[in-house]
Amino acid sequence: MLEIKNLHVSVDGNEILKGIDLSVGPGEVHAIMGPNGSGKSTLSHVIAGRDGYEITGGRIIFKGEDLTGLLPEERAAKGLFLAFQYPVEIPGVANTTFLKEALNAIRRFHGEDELDALQFVKMVRKKTEELGISDDMLKRAVNVGFSGGEKKRNEILQMAVLNPSLAILDETDSGLDIDALKIVSEGVNKLRSPDRSMVIITHYQRLLDYIVPDKVHVLANGKIQRTGGKELALELEEKGYAEFDGAVA
């Protein structure tokens, strides 16, 4: 599904990622853990295609295709989804409008007919029902006045509607209390499927109590320092990142 090979990335001339190798198979859930400043968010943004990052070496292969030359919207159309650490508020644009524009843009990309308003509402209602999200959230402006938990649930709803084959969850647990964390994790678990891979980026182990990963990677100082099973997360919880953090100022 996702193959990252020897990826080097710089921002304003500073090398942030110093040779990342990562392989995520279909249906697998991987966690990437690391201390602040280790390059976790850079990695998620680079995969999604954000401007401002210079790839100085390596490749990002998604479903057999090198993504590095593609626009963010093209990557999304090909089945990539990034759940934001800080979802953006867009006043004056209703959540439904946003979701419908996004879904129809992706459908157009694949030469499929756009959904009309009725078809769309039917489809999105089914998703909100499955995820236990109130329809009220659809009418409101995108993320405006949403609580931290609502913003993250909205990310999960977008994921459900756009149905990506790879979802990257960037610090989805940040800013959530334990109840919100449970609700969001339940949503993510409902979307787990053999056809969908997930990469969960987090600083803390606690999210992984609810979303149990197949593999855990430790990212520190711009490199994957260690890879293991879910027990690695527990070990990190106990010992912290000190072991890997030596090189980080």
Partner 1 sequence: MVNMASTPLNFMPDFDAERPGLPGAGILWLETLRQDGLERFNDLGLPTPKQEAWKYTRLKPFEDTHFQPVTDEDGMAALDDVPSLLPDPGGRPRLVFVNGRIRPSFWIEGDLPDGVHLDGLRDVLAHAPDWVEEYLGQLTGGDDQALVQLNTAMMDTGFVLRVEPGVVVEQPIEVVFIGGLTSQPVAYFPRNLIVLGEGAQASVVKYHAGLGVGAYFANAVTEVNLAPGARLNHYKVQAESLDATHLGSVHVRVAKDATYDSFTLSIGGRLSRNEVSVRLEGSGAHAGVNGAYLMRGNEHCDNTTVIDHLAPHTSCREIFKGVLDDQSRAVFQGRIVVHKDAQGTDGHQLCKTLLLATGAEIDVKPELEIYADDVKCSHGATTGQIDETALFYLRSRGIPEALARNLLVQSFLGEALEEIADDNIREAFTNKVLHWLPAACFLSEEWRGE
| Angle at 83 (CA atoms; ends 62, 146), nearest 5 degrees | 165
| Residue type at 67 in one-letter notation | L
Provide the b/e sequence for 68-104 (b: ≥16 CB within 10 Å).
Answer: eebeeeebbbbbbbbbbbebeeeeeeebbebbbebbb
Q: Which of residues 78-137 bind partner 1 (CB under 8 A)?
A: 81-82, 84, 87-88, 90-93, 97-98, 100-106, 108-109, 114, 116-117
Provide the b/e sequence for 17-41 (b: ≥16 CB within 10 Å).
Answer: bbbbebebeeebbbbbbbbeebbbb
**Which listed residue (12, 13, 14, 51) binds partner 1 by CB under 8 A?**
51
CA nearest neighbour of 139 among 129, 124, 159: 124
Burial (Cβ within 10 Å: 0-12, 13-18, ≥19) of residue 115: middle
Q: Please report whether residue 70 would count as binding partner 1 according to CB under 8 A.
A: no
Q: Report the residue number, 48 or 55, with the smaller CB distance to partner 1.
A: 48
For the beta carbon of residue 190, count every other beta carbon within 10 angstroms: 13
- Give the separation between CA 153 and CA 148, rounded to whole angstroms: 9
List residues bridging with 29 in a β-sheet.
198
Q: Report the residue number, 50 or 59, with the smaller CB distance to partner 1.
A: 50
Q: Report the residue number, 93 or 121, with the smaller CB distance to partner 1.
A: 93
Binding letters toward partner 1, positions 157-176, x by CB under 8 A = -x---x--------------
Q: Report the residue number, 102 or 234, with the smaller CB distance to partner 1.
A: 102
Q: Please report whether residue 55 would count as binding partner 1 according to CB under 8 A.
A: no
Choose one: 65-73, 201-209, 210-218, 235-243; the region binding partner 1 (CB under 8 A): 65-73
Q: Please report whether residue 224 would count as binding partner 1 according to CB under 8 A.
A: no
Tell me how far, at minimum, the Cβ of 50 lies from partner 1, in Å. 5
Residues near partner 1, by CB under 8 A: 48-52, 71-73, 75-77, 81-82, 84, 87-88, 90-93, 97-98, 100-106, 108-109, 114, 116-117, 141, 158, 162
